[in-house]
Structure formats: C-alpha cells, structure tokens
Amino acid sequence: MIDLRSDTVTQPTIEMRQAMANAEVGDDVFGEDPTVNQLEKTAAELVGKEDALFVPTGTMGNQLAILSHTSRGDEVILDSESHIFYYEVGAPAMFAGVQLHPVSGLLGRNALEKLRHACRQPDIHFPNSRLLCLENTFNRGGGTVMTPEEMGSIYELAKEYNLAVHMDGARIFNAAVASRCDVKEFTRYCDSVMFSLSKGLCAPVGSILAGSKKIIAKARKYRKAMGGGMRQAGVLAAAGLIALKMVDRLAEDHANAMKLAEGLAQIDGLKVELHRVQTNIVLAEITAMDMDAQTFVDEMQKHSVKVVPFGPRLVRFVTHKDVSRDDIEQAVNVAEIVIGSI
C-alpha cells in the first residue's frame, strides 16, 4: 500500500527505535527526565527561542500557546482555513475561552491589508484583539510557504496593534528547507512557535512549543492541567532528538512532491497548480465531470494508493520518508487509471 494521506504516517527509523529502547529517563513533571530536558534545550536553540516544551501533539502545543498568550474573552485573529480554526475541535473556546476571528485569505496575498482591517480599535463593545496565529507551511493552502520577508512585515504590523504572534509551524522545517535558509529566519518573527516531530521528521510521537521563558513556564503549567504530564517521557523524546537531525532529508520529499504534481497535471481530468507545489503537499482538483473527491479516493485505495479528500472535488497527496520515487510513479499511473475509468 502506498500511503500518501499524510506525513503523519511515517514510521520511526531503526536509529529512533534503538534510542527509545536505551533512553535515560526520569520523572518529567519533576523536571528530572534528562532526555526530555536535552530535547527541549536542543529544540529551543535550533529555533532561536529561550525555552521549549515537549508536548504529545501539535494541537496541544497550539492550544497551550493560545492559553499562555491570552485571557478569557480575548480575540485571536487567524486564517479561516488555518489548522487551528479548521481542525482543532473548537479547542480555543473550550479551554481558553477566547473568540476566534477567522479572516479569509490572511495567509495569502494582501495579508497586511487583511490584518489591518481585522484588528479592532479599543471599544467597550469589542473583545480585545490579543493574538495573531500564523501557519507555515500552510496545510490547506497546499503546503505553501510564507517567506521570512512576509512574516517580518506581518510581525511588525502586529506589534503596532499590540498583538502577540504565535506560529503553527508544524512543518516549519519544510519551509526552511524549501527556502534554503536557517529556520531562525522564520522564527525570529513570532513570539512562540509549535513544530511537529512526528510528520516529515519521522518521530512516532511529539511536538515542540518554543518561546520565551515566561511563556513556556505558563505553558508548562497548562500542559499539566490538560493531562500532558507524561512522566518518563524520555522514551519518546529520544526519538525527537533523532528527528531534529533529519531536517535536510525533507528536500527529498519536496522533489518527490513536484514529480508527483507534474505527473498528475498531465492527466486529463485532474488540475494541479504547479506554482503552489512548494514543499511536500500536492492538491489536485478533479475536473472530470462524473467523479467527486470521495469516489476518487475510494477508487485509488482499491488500487493500493491512499489519499484524502480535501473538498468536494479536491484531493490531497503528501510525500514523506516512506514514499519512494517508484511509489510516486505508481501513484500517477493509478490516478490515470482511476480517472480513465469514468
């Protein structure tokens, strides 16, 4: 089976499994797990932040950031297609008691104009705009990259409105590799950043939230409240330390994604915007009249290729470590067979 549903399906490497088996551990809630401590220190240095926190999932990391930057009744500005708004179960309302202000196209063109329009002036009738959440790379945007220059302009405007900036950087290392620059060129323009260890970096579990010592201290307490005190978590953190050494291999995923996109674009009945294929995500629109996304997905799986629907006529493919160039060619062949079967 060729699994192109997500880079979350990556299997841990043999080196990771060995590191997990041999990990030195302690009680992390007491701050005594040496492997977790090393992971947090290494991660903070890597993204240029004062401190970091190991969390089970990216969703928890994002929610801890929202809790740590806001007070109940505040407003959080974010893109209407962002992961936090679209895929995180309404958690900001459940846990932080904040109001989300979704802005269409905030992560696209004219971001400055859209942010300026979204920020509220102080008024007794309005919530306090307190936090801006960005996402890089942009999942529902097809894995597109917001450049450091764009982030810098947005960050500067956010500060004019006294907004803290959190970046959902689940795939921020994909952005850095695609842009051929140090990840700090992105993370310098946010007050906190979450990134995933368990996507393209192949760890079995875990994400990192990084920021100032003050923010991470608050997040650590909220993590405990949310059930994230994982005790001897060094068994998991050991794989995370290996994951941080695997950043450069993401370029292979990007090359495979472009190869896949070019192949799919040649199929009559599929449309791919090649200029939007910047990292490891490919979005294909089904233009064939008699097929929708779910039917396409179902038929692909019958031929041992897994993908996911991303809209009524939109399908997402994601490349990762466990997908070879031969798998890419096979997936294109299967897509052609499926479209041709109409």
The pLDDT tens digits for 149-203 are 999 999 999 999 999 999 999 999 999 999 999 999 999 999 999 999 999 999 9
Looking at residue 289, its pLDDT comes to 81
Looking at residue 340, its pLDDT comes to 87
pLDDT digits (tens, 9 = 90+) for 34-46: 999 999 999 999 9
User: Chain-wide mean pLDDT for the chain?
Assistant: 97
pLDDT digits (tens, 9 = 90+) for 273-294: 999 999 999 999 999 888 999 9
Q: Hey, how many other C-beta atoms are within 10 angstroms of the C-beta on 289?
A: 7
Packing angle between helix 325-340 and helix 250-265, nearest 10 degrees? 20
Packing angle between helix 58-69 and helix 213-225, nearest 10 degrees? 120
| DSSP 8-state secondary structure symbol assigned to residue 94 | I
Distance CA 44, CA 56 (A): 17
Q: Domains of the chain: which residue ranges? A: 8-245, 249-340
pLDDT above 90: percentage of residues in the chain = 97
| DSSP 8-state secondary structure symbol assigned to residue 18 | H
CATH code for the part of the protein at 249-340 = 3.90.1150.10
75's enclosing H/E stretch is strand 75-79
Distance CA 55, CA 157 (A): 30
Distance CA 271, CA 261 (A): 9
Looking at residue 341, its pLDDT comes to 80
For the purposes of burial, counting CB atoms within 10 Å of the CB of 47, is it exposed (0-12), middle (13-18) or buried (19 or more)?
buried
Confidence of residue 109 (pLDDT cuts 50, 70, 90): confident
Determine the average pLDDT of the residues in 112-126. Answer: 93
**Are 317 and 281 within 8 A, CB to CB?**
yes
Distance CA 217, CA 68 (A): 9
How is domain 8-245 classified at the CATH fold level?
A: Aspartate Aminotransferase; domain 2 (3.40.640)
311's enclosing H/E stretch is strand 308-311
pLDDT digits (tens, 9 = 90+) for 196-253: 999 999 999 999 999 999 999 999 999 999 999 999 999 999 999 999 999 999 999 9
